[in-house]
């Protein structure tokens, strides 16, 4: 959607929306964002990971027909694929769209499926970032499950932020803590990802995710042994973020 003439920039639009919904709760932010004409066409992007069911449940209550983009990197745990099917059925989400990388690009850039072993950034870009960017083109905004407590780079996270120069990102759970997520899941009797009970509090692709030991940061199992903490789909002030685990703790 072209920028409304009333807005000088997308940044001004985000600032106005943040002011408008500054004192709203997560459910209210999501509900209004889905129906606010100033936000535009909106989708929810979900990994169907450890905490994804919270936003998916909110969506199922408010607008179950809303498009949900699920990126299948073709390297996900079998448990994640089954969980995706189970949650979609239980919550009666009617518009889940599975996104995959272009087969020709996979054949050219990762013909033997080993790219992740020597270049994780390139693998994430091929299997996740590029497919998602293509899938987001029809939308003016997308909903994420990002939260302030997850990383130092997210400490000042707002409900609305820029995603490049053409799109908004909506973070309804920005102000929530782990206890809020737990309470919501318990109160609504939501199904848990089966790998959480096996020591995976943060779940990505199978080759790049390992169990987390007691006392470790919940994201310590993601790309263990490297400084990588983000797959590349998230931006800060419109720019892709690359941070060290020390900054993300």
Active site residues: 231
Question: Which of 205-212's residues contact partners 24+ apart within 8 Å by CB, and which partners?
Answer: 205/73, 205/75, 205/76, 205/77, 205/116, 205/127, 206/75, 206/76, 206/77, 207/75, 207/116, 207/117, 208/75, 208/116, 208/120, 209/77
CA 55/CA 58 separation, integer angstroms:
5
Q: Are 142 and 172 in contact (CB under 8 A)?
A: no
Sign of CA dihedral 140, 67, 53, 230: negative
CA 161/CA 11 separation, integer angstroms:
8
């Amino acid at each position: 959607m072209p920028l409304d003439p009333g807005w000088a920039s997308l940044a001004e639009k985000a600032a106005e929306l943040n002011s408008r919904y500054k004192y709203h709760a997560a459910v209210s932010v999501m509900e209004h964002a889905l129906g606010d004409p100033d936000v535009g066409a909106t989708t929810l992007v979900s990994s169907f990971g450890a905490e994804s069911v919270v936003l998916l449940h909110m969506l199922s209550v408010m607008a179950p027909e809303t498009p949900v983009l699920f990126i299948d990197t073709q390297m996900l745990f079998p448990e994640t694929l089954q969980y995706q099917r189970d949650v979609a059925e239980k919550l009666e989400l009617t518009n889940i769209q599975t996104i995959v990388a272009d087969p020709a690009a996979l054949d050219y850039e990762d013909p033997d499926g080993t790219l992740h072993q020597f270049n994780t950034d390139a693998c994430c870009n091929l299997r996740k970032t590029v497919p998602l960017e293509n899938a987001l083109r029809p939308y003016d905004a997308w909903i994420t499950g990002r939260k302030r407590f997850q990383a130092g780079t997210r400490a000042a996270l707002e409900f609305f932020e820029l995603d490049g120069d053409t799109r908004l990102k909506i973070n309804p759970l920005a102000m929530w803590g782990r206890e809020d997520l737990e309470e919501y899941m318990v109160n609504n009797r939501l199904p848990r990802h089966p790998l959480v009970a096996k020591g995976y509090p943060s779940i990505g692709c199978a080759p790049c995710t390992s169990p987390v030991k007691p006392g470790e940061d919940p994201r310590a199992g993601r790309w263990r042994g490297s400084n990588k903490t983000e797959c590349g789909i998230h931006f800060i002030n419109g720019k892709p973020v690359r941070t060290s685990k020390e900054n993300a703790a």
